[in-house]
Structure 1
């Protein structure tokens, strides 16, 4: 692997991936604020960690190097000066505007070991664990009943969304919800300060400062020339157009962007919750997107202008034309049964992570879909999922591929 980043498909052999092991941020989920933090339920941390460790074990046993978000962050904070700068900027990102509160929190965090500091930054700071003297803002007074000075970040274990590797470059995404915006600060810090990445002249196809949201769960690399992007509740048309322009203009190798218009609802949160690639010509889908749907094809016309075509046809035909395949097989979540597909879709039955062509990691609880995949010739590696699935994301959501072999 002579390149730091390389993702030219969804199915090339996975060599390196970024994960985050669930931490104490999960234990700062409380019923009153579940909606604010984008959760429907509260995972049991100890069990969730065991499940996540099982996920990492499957990856490593299949030749994948697992990097952890928390480790890369700590490795990029080797001096006290960098830690201070990191905290100052992170607290600003956390909408903490009071100078007094900022100074108190920085002192509190700087007095910790690096590991404890990082754990605390991610898990949040409760008001009952530190005494802040001389409250000096109306906001602090009016928010007196809110239990946190610093909000927890329970969505961190879904590393797919804050960024995406496309070819040899990366998008540092602008998240749709305020609950997740700080996650991209971590990724941005790593790619600007970590010794492995900062000096490699890595192309940045999209930046977190752009005011249009886009999330990694909506981005699928179908081939070295084609990217599929879901225009969803969390990914805007404006962001897709900007990304397409940058990919074409900067000689990324990508020549076409297929934009899938998907419903704006919780069950169809991202494109990868209803559609993933599992082999050269096989895809898992939720039956709800199989019928005729709007797909917008973006290509470049001249040096600056984008060309748009609209297709309204079955998904299979769209994929056959785009990938120049004689046929494709769409494998329905739950076999297309309304009850089963609805249940298994809720638990991310279509959210598979391919680690090589025809080899995927799935949640064991989606046993109907897993059995169908096996019968279709797909090797299915299952992982336990009773607690992790409460966060509404599957194996693909929990992983950010950094390097795949070319097909």
Structure 2
């Protein structure tokens, strides 16, 4: 796909993947320490060099199967050539209430004088107290040397969380956790100002109610499931439903309550699609997961009665049943491979998925069910609790609703 192509979007999780947005881990991961890793939402301190090797293997696997890989940082550097984008991204950093007026003004001058590549580095990797020698003000004087004037964004690795495409429109998330809020500002700037996305219309924006991309699954053309809980609130689901139903991007949105902890943060940590009628799913929640259908009728949002997720989803998709493939072979294996992102697969096409090689039992079950598994290393990438799906935002898939044509709605 060249830079003049405007056929972005997706209407399923399994249509042939054409273009994907990734973020190669970099200096921001080197900022993680035992002291700050919990606040920055990492369970461990990754070996950054190995994480980069693993990510490169992931990207190459995608390229080997005909997928164009776009890197978020490269797009961001080019985006910052726009004065409007620079003002937007610098302004977002300056809203941090920790700064105070004096430090805020000295930081503004520092950032405004930067080359786009240097500015992108600082906005992603952060700015440590000791690196900012021009800092002024009481906030700066009392800040510990180990603190950051601008916090790093190690979770930028998980590009699915900050944006997701529904039809030919992009939903930029409203991330709940303070450590991740600026990811959406950065991502929104790319979609709004980079020439490759000229003319793209939004389906959601960061100032709206809480919504995270990892909770959004495109079950089938016209059917969107959204995990609902602490990360994506019921109000966020309602807002997304009104937006996509009103725009004709879907006819049914399913709200799926998800009990959230470090192993089940989003809907895609317990369930991802690997075929047009099949999901890989954490067996502990398979029978417990519920769904509530949302539809528009005469401009009003109709809320259905809760029912078993697998049944409600199959009905909305117009199929007899939604096949399930379990994580692991027994409860102990299932729990371990759930922690290791066994359910967080990325479909490149129907019955072709990328998964971490370490989840051997789940991968074996996928293959027994007729799914070809492309295994990638992930011992270091997984320290942030995310797998291949979390690390990828598909921006162009073949549309199943258009009989596999490489076009978007209205094209």
TM-score (normalizing by structure 1)? 0.92
Determine the structure 1 residue equivalent to 2:175: 175
Judge conservation of contact 2:85–2:189 (CA < 8 Å) in 1: no
- Per the alignment, in what secondary structure is the counterpart of residue 244 of structure 1? helix
**How do 1:353-364 and structure 2 match up within 5 A?**
353-364=346-357
Taking the aligned partners of 1:269 and 1:354, their CA distance within structure 2 comes to: 20
Taking the aligned partners of 1:297 and 1:104, their CA distance within structure 2 comes to: 51
Closer/same/farther in 2, CA of residues 251 and 316 from structure 1, 3 Å limit: closer
**How do 1:37-56 and structure 2 match up within 5 A?**
37-56=40-59
Cα distance, 1:318 vs. partner? 2.6
Determine the structure 2 residue equivalent to 1:25: 28
Taking the aligned partners of 1:251 and 1:374, their CA distance within structure 2 comes to: 36
Cα distance, 1:104 vs. partner? 3.3
Judge conservation of contact 1:96–1:102 (CA < 8 Å) in 2: no
Determine the structure 1 residue equivalent to 2:266: 270
Partner deviation per Cα, 1:149-196 (whole Å, 9 max, x = no partner): 111110010000111100000111110111000000111111221112
Judge conservation of contact 2:89–2:189 (CA < 8 Å) in 1: no
Q: Which runs of 5+ in 1 are unaligned?
A: none
RMSD (Å) for aligned C-alpha atoms: 1.9
Equivalent of residue 291 in structure 1, options 277, 284, 287? 287
Taking the aligned partners of 1:320 and 1:294, their CA distance within structure 2 comes to: 13
Judge conservation of contact 2:174–2:210 (CA < 8 Å) in 1: yes
Partner deviation per Cα, 1:8-65 (whole Å, 9 max, x = no partner): 0000000011000001110111111112111110111100000000000011111111
**How do 1:221-236 and structure 2 match up within 5 A?**
221-236=218-233
Is 1:238 the counterpart of 2:235 in the alignment? yes
Cα distance, 1:298 vs. partner? 0.4
Cα distance, 1:246 vs. partner? 1.3
Judge conservation of contact 1:175–1:181 (CA < 8 Å) in 2: yes
Deviating 4+ runs (over 6 angstroms): none
Judge conservation of contact 2:165–2:395 (CA < 8 Å) in 1: yes
- Per the alignment, in what secondary structure is the counterpart of residue 385 of structure 1? coil
Cα distance, 1:96 vs. partner? 5.7
**How do 1:141-180 and structure 2 match up within 5 A?**
141-144=141-144, 147-180=147-180
Taking the aligned partners of 1:242 and 1:45, their CA distance within structure 2 comes to: 38
Is 1:331 the counterpart of 2:334 in the alignment? no
Closer/same/farther in 2, CA of residues 230 and 185 from structure 1, 3 Å limit: same
Judge conservation of contact 1:15–1:65 (CA < 8 Å) in 2: yes
Judge conservation of contact 1:232–1:269 (CA < 8 Å) in 2: no
Taking the aligned partners of 1:301 and 1:175, their CA distance within structure 2 comes to: 29
Cα distance, 1:142 vs. partner? 4.4
Determine the structure 2 residue equivalent to 1:128: 130
Determine the structure 2 residue equivalent to 1:209: 207
Cα distance, 1:111 vs. partner? 5.4
**How do 1:310-321 and structure 2 match up within 5 A?**
310-313=305-308, 315-321=309-315
Taking the aligned partners of 1:294 and 1:51, their CA distance within structure 2 comes to: 35
Judge conservation of contact 1:173–1:215 (CA < 8 Å) in 2: yes
Equivalent of residue 373 in structure 2, options 377, 380, 385? 380
Judge conservation of contact 1:91–1:102 (CA < 8 Å) in 2: no
Taking the aligned partners of 1:344 and 1:149, their CA distance within structure 2 comes to: 38
Partner deviation per Cα, 1:71-93 (whole Å, 9 max, x = no partner): 111112225x4575255314224
Cα distance, 1:282 vs. partner? 1.3
The number of residues matched between the two structures is 397
Closer/same/farther in 2, CA of residues 22 and 319 from structure 1, 3 Å limit: same
Taking the aligned partners of 2:155 and 2:289, their CA distance within structure 1 comes to: 30
Determine the structure 2 residue equivalent to 1:100: 102
Judge conservation of contact 2:129–2:149 (CA < 8 Å) in 1: yes
